C-alpha cells in the first residue's frame, strides 16, 4: 500500500511539472503540445537576464538620487 501511494505521488508530481498545453480548436479535436522554456543562461549582457535587470535597476536608483 505504501509503495502504491508513493508511486501515485511521484507520477502526480511528474504530470504537474510537465509543461503541457491543451488546445481544442474544434469540438471534436484535442491537441496536446509540449511547451519549452528559453532560458538565457550564460548571456549576462542580455536585457532579460537577471544581471541585466539588476543593472538597469541600479542605473534607475542612481538617476533618482542625482
pLDDT 10s digits, 1-52: 889 999 999 888 877 777 777 777 777 788 877 777 665 566 666 666 667 7
Please enumerate in sequence order all residues whose Cβ is within 8 A of that of 13, keeping only pairs 6 or more positions apart, or say none: none
Q: What separation in angstroms does the CA of 36 have from each of 7, 14, 17, 30, 32?
A: 26, 16, 12, 19, 13
Domain that includes residue 24, residue range: 2-65
Q: Is the pTM of this model over 0.75?
A: no
Q: Bridge-partner residues for 22, per DSSP? A: 32
pLDDT score of 40: 59
Count structural domains, the chain.
Answer: 1
Amino acid at each position: 500500500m505504501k509503495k502504491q501511494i508513493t508511486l501515485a505521488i511521484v507520477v502526480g508530481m511528474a504530470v504537474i511539472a510537465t509543461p503541457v498545453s491543451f488546445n481544442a480548436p474544434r469540438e471534436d479535436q484535442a491537441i496536446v503540445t509540449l511547451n519549452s522554456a528559453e532560458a538565457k543562461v550564460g548571456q549576462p549582457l542580455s536585457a532579460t537576464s537577471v544581471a541585466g535587470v539588476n543593472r538597469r535597476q541600479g542605473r534607475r536608483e542612481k538617476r533618482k538620487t542625482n
